[in-house]
């Protein structure tokens, strides 16, 4: 086993697999109202190809955590089967999903039975109007039902990811935290990143981690959690003395690139060594041209070696990647 090491000494053990670039919501910070030019069906990896590449990662490259994402991974028809096949490859690998939870109420039990360990659900507000403003869909009840189903199916601890937008929901952080605490969900706020398809992100107007902490502190007593953060991107804080916590993922204002252990595989079989990478390595073409598992593992290692030291968002020469978040896999 030769791991995915880069020239700065980091080892990637956490694989994010995008299963589709399509989505049934239209979050304003992610994509335009009309959606995007979706990936042609032939470009997308088949279920067997996805499982084969995950197998290469787990069996030859030391990957220990697999997270399914997208786009919206629940719209991928073969999802339950893919989970089952990955579980049969390796009983110990941690398997989770990042989802908007639409339809999770129907599939949570099947996913848990197939071997999924945990669910992370994206929810930016618990107010119906605000939800509709952000996602451009009136589906808050489905998300709430999906969260409850995930918990009931044993896909916990359920984590909730939230993005705050200035003038839209930035005054709702304490309310969202109270709602999550009541239900035992672990809330993490994510700073908005320059990964939207419309290129509308603006450093000056994004809501920063400091602002989020100050807003939460007006209602809750926060103290830094003593556990070391390691490669986990969220800085954790005990709420009102604990044991409950809230997390802040300050990708922009307090980057954690030095501890990054992630690698990404897009739905069309491209390895990306960073969310913000400007180049990719095409495993789909290699695979469809007859590459062996050893060849694929070698290509993957080479792709990882070139990972940049940091994302460079604050660098004047920073260029947003061509692919938006929904086509990379967040
Ligand atoms: N559709 C699924 C979902 O929303 O959970 C999975 C894919 S989505 C791209 C993954 C995560 O990225 C979500 O938590 C979403 O809020 C977050 N996200 C999307 N665009 C973002 C951006 N520009 N900055 C920060 N987070 C973003
Ligand atoms: Fe869809 Fe997730 Fe993007 Fe929202 S953040 S539009 S749910 S992919």
pLDDT tens string 9-18: 999 999 999 9
Phi, psi at 272, each rounded to 5°: -120, 125
Which ligand ends up closest to the CA of 28? 2
122 lines ligand 1 (CB under 6 A): yes
pLDDT of 321:
87
* Local confidence band at 315 (pLDDT 50, 70, 90 cut-offs): confident
Ligand 2 midpoint to CA 20 (Å): 11
pLDDT of 1:
84
CB contact at 8 A, 146 and 185: no
CB contact at 8 A, 22 and 75: yes
Residues written for the chain? 330
Res. 245: pLDDT tops 90? yes
Q: Is 274 annotated as a binding residue?
A: yes
Q: What is the pTM of this model?
A: 0.96
Ligand 1 midpoint to CA 295 (Å): 32
Res. 322: pLDDT tops 90? no
Res. 94: pLDDT tops 90? yes
* Local confidence band at 103 (pLDDT 50, 70, 90 cut-offs): very high
Question: Is 233 strand, coil or helix?
Answer: coil
Calculate the average pLDDT of the chain. Answer: 95
Q: Is 158 annotated as a binding residue?
A: no
Ligand 2 midpoint to CA 285 (Å): 27
Q: Which pLDDT tens digit goes with each residue over 30-45? A: 999 999 999 999 999 9
Distance between CA atoms of residues 240 and 269, nearest Å: 45
Q: Match 């896909």 to its residue by tokens.
A: 155
Q: Match 């659900």 to its residue by tokens.
A: 121
Q: Is 325 annotated as a binding residue?
A: no
Measured by CA distance, the residue closest to atom 5 of ligand 1 is 99
**For the domain that residue 196 is a member of, what is the CATH number?**
3.20.20.70
CB contact at 8 A, 311 and 273: no
Ligand 2 midpoint to CA 31 (Å): 8
Pocket perturbation via mutation, ligand 2, pick of 74, 102, 104, 122 by most ligand atoms within 8 A of CB: 122
Res. 314: pLDDT tops 90? no
Q: Where are the alpha helices (DSSP H) in 115-172?
A: 128-135, 140-152
Ligand 2 midpoint to CA 72 (Å): 7
196 lines ligand 2 (CB under 6 A): no
Q: Which pLDDT tens digit goes with each residue over 144-164? A: 999 999 999 999 999 999 999
44 lines ligand 2 (CB under 6 A): no
Measured by CA distance, the residue closest to atom 27 of ligand 1 is 192
Res. 231: pLDDT tops 80? no
| C-alpha torsion sign, points 46, 51, 53, 54 | positive
Res. 319: pLDDT tops 90? no
Distance between CA atoms of residues 204 and 201, nearest Å: 9
Count: domains in the chain: 1
* Local confidence band at 287 (pLDDT 50, 70, 90 cut-offs): very high
Q: Is 180 annotated as a binding residue?
A: no
27 lines ligand 2 (CB under 6 A): yes
Q: Which pLDDT tens digit goes with each residue over 176-219? A: 999 999 999 999 999 999 999 999 898 888 999 999 999 999 99
Ligand 1 midpoint to CA 83 (Å): 21
For residue 270, the enclosing domain spans 4-328
Q: Is 83 annotated as a binding residue?
A: no
* Local confidence band at 228 (pLDDT 50, 70, 90 cut-offs): low
Ligand 2 midpoint to CA 71 (Å): 6
136 lines ligand 2 (CB under 6 A): no
């Amino acid at each position: 086993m030769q791991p995915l090491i880069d020239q700065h000494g980091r080892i990637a053990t956490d694989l994010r697999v995008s299963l589709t670039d399509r989505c049934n919501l239209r979050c304003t910070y992610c994509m335009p109202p009309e959606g995007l030019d979706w990936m042609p069906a032939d470009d997308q990896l088949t279920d067997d190809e996805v499982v084969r590449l995950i197998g290469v990662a787990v069996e030859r490259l030391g990957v220990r955590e697999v997270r399914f994402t997208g786009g919206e991974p629940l719209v991928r028809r073969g999802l339950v089967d893919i989970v089952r096949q990955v579980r049969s490859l390796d009983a110990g690998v941690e398997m989770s999903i990042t989802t908007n939870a639409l339809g999770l109420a129907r599939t949570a039990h099947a996913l848990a039975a197939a071997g999924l360990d945990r669910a992370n659900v994206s929810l930016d507000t618990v107010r119906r109007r605000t939800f509709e403003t952000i996602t451009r869909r009136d589906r808050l009840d489905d998300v709430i039902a999906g969260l409850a189903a995930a918990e009931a199916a044993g896909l916990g601890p359920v984590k909730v990811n939230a993005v705050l937008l200035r003038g839209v929901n930035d005054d709702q952080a304490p309310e969202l935290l109270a709602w999550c605490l009541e239900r035992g969900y672990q809330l993490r706020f994510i700073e908005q990143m320059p990964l939207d398809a419309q290129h509308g992100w603006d450093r000056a107007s994004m809501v920063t981690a400091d602002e989020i902490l100050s807003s939460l502190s007006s209602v809750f007593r926060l103290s830094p959690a003593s556990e070391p953060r390691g490669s986990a991107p969220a800085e954790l804080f005990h709420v009102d003395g604990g044991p409950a916590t809230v997390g802040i993922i300050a990708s922009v204002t307090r980057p954690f690139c030095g501890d990054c252990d992630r690698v990404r595989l897009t739905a069309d079989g491209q390895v990306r060594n960073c969310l913000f990478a400007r180049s990719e390595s095409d495993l789909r073409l290699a695979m469809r041209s007859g590459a062996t598992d050893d060849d694929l593992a070698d290509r993957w290692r080479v792709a990882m070696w070139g990972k940049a030291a940091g994302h460079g968002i604050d660098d004047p020469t920073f260029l947003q990647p061509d692919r938006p978040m929904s086509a990379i896999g967040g």
